[in-house]
Amino acid sequence: MASISAKILMALSGLFLMGFLLVHLLGNLQIYAGPEVFNAYPETLRHYPVLLWTARVLLILAFTLHILTSIYLSTKNKAARPVAYAQKHSVQASLASRTMLLGGLVILGFLLFHLAHLTWRWVFPEYAALDLYTLTVLSFQNSLVAAFYVLAQVFLALHLSHGFSSAAQTLSLTRWCATTFRFAGYAFALAITLGYVSIPVSIWLGLVHA
């Protein structure tokens, strides 16, 4: 019973986080419209502090719930199988499902780096006083930073695509609905990833400049 509730909470918090990823991507893609448009979007948000902080609190709650339920469920799964398998039969498991925990940890590590980079502005103190557009563009000219963002988005894509399959199972959708949901999930994961990856890559290639 507790496991079912945990799975439902995990699926719902995951769906909420996907909604955030989509809205955040739409905001970020405005970088292609130039500095005035890109710098205006966080400024507009800051004019509505109640809205901004409600979104932030919901986001922190969703992240916390998602992480805690994943720890709870993986601990329960291990406890249900006290004797480890002699051989790990992961041939049939997809790459995405085998990398859920690792992927989750990489995404968490990425998120902390990302906040330190663009929100708290600690990573490049020499750019800290610049506007958000210039800070973003100059820092993605650094190959290591651009490569780390791209790598993190690949883990995010695997995590999202498997997350949709799991959510379809948890929400007990009919076979037809589950298949449609799963394919919609793959399309969503691919579109989101391409959108995010396009930003560091196009800056690194010099297609977007300060």
Chain residues that interact with ligand HEM, rule: CB under 6 A: 24, 28, 42, 56, 59, 107, 111, 114-115, 118-119, 132, 136, 149, 156, 196, 199-200
CB of 84 to ligand HEM, least distance (A): 32
Residue with smaller CB distance to ligand HEM, 65 or 107? 107
Residue with smaller CB distance to ligand HEM, 10 or 156? 156
Task: Compute the distance between CA of residue 24 and CA of residue 170 in angstroms, rounded to an integer.
Answer: 26
CB of 74 to ligand HEM, least distance (A): 20
Residue with smaller CB distance to ligand HEM, 20 or 72? 20
Paired tokens of 165: 């399959």
CB of 9 to ligand HEM, least distance (A): 19
Backbone φ and ψ of 123, nearest 5° = -70, -40
CB of 103 to ligand HEM, least distance (A): 11
Task: Compute the distance between CA of residue 12 and CA of residue 83 in angstroms, rounded to an integer.
Answer: 32
CB of 60 to ligand HEM, least distance (A): 9
Q: What is the DSSP string of 26-90?
A: HHHGGGGG-HHHHHHHHHHHHT-HHHHHHHHHHHHHHHHHHHHHHHHHHHHHHHH--SPPSS---
Residue with smaller CB distance to ligand HEM, 168 or 192? 192
Task: Compute the distance between CA of residue 93 and CA of residue 114 in angstroms, rounded to an integer.
Answer: 30
Residue with smaller CB distance to ligand HEM, 75 or 109? 109
Indicate the burial class of 52 (C-beta count within 10 angstroms; 0-12, 13-18, 19 or more).
Answer: middle
